[in-house]
Amino acid sequence: MRLTGGCLCGAVTYASEGPWRPVIACHCSQCRKTTGHYVSATSVPRESLAIMGEPKWFTSSDDARRGFCGTCGSQLFWDGAGANISIMAGTLDGPTGLETKGHIFCADKGDYYEIPGGVRRAEGYDPDLTTRVD
């Protein structure tokens, strides 16, 4: 399934045929600080992602970097170890057919919201719910 997306100003866009991982929400403090809330992201194999434009990259930890638009600041990517790269689900164009299948780092969530039930939840890292393919 070919999906496209990009930043708010259009300076950085992307496209991929997938395969697309279901959306996973991350409630860790880094995701909350970089976006102002929690992150909802899908992922694709790195080699299947075509990026047009030049995202800026911020090394947010020893294990990962985050890609964003240097013009409008839109958060676009989370890139860590493994074969996949995460894509912020809110930056996808149009209907996607993707569904949220889980929440990670629930122990770190903000105290001002509740995590909805009905999908898998992990208090921290969960290798079955993340981008990592080590």
- What residue ranges do the domains of the chain occupy? 3-121
Strand order through the sheet with 49-52? 3-6, 13-16, 49-52
The domain 3-121 having CATH identifier 1.10.10.60: the answer here is no
- pLDDT 10s digits, 8-21: 999 999 999 999 99
- Whose CA is closest to 27, among 13, 42, 11, 40? 40
Mention every residue, 6+ apart, whose C-beta is less than 8 A from residue 58.
65, 66, 68
Q: Could you tell me the pTM of the whole model?
A: 0.93
- Coil, helix or strand at residue 41: strand
Rounded-to-integer distance, Cα 40 and Cα 36, Å: 12
- pLDDT 10s digits, 62-107: 989 999 999 999 999 999 988 999 999 999 999 999 999 999 999 9
Q: Which residues pair with 66 in a beta bridge?
A: 58, 78
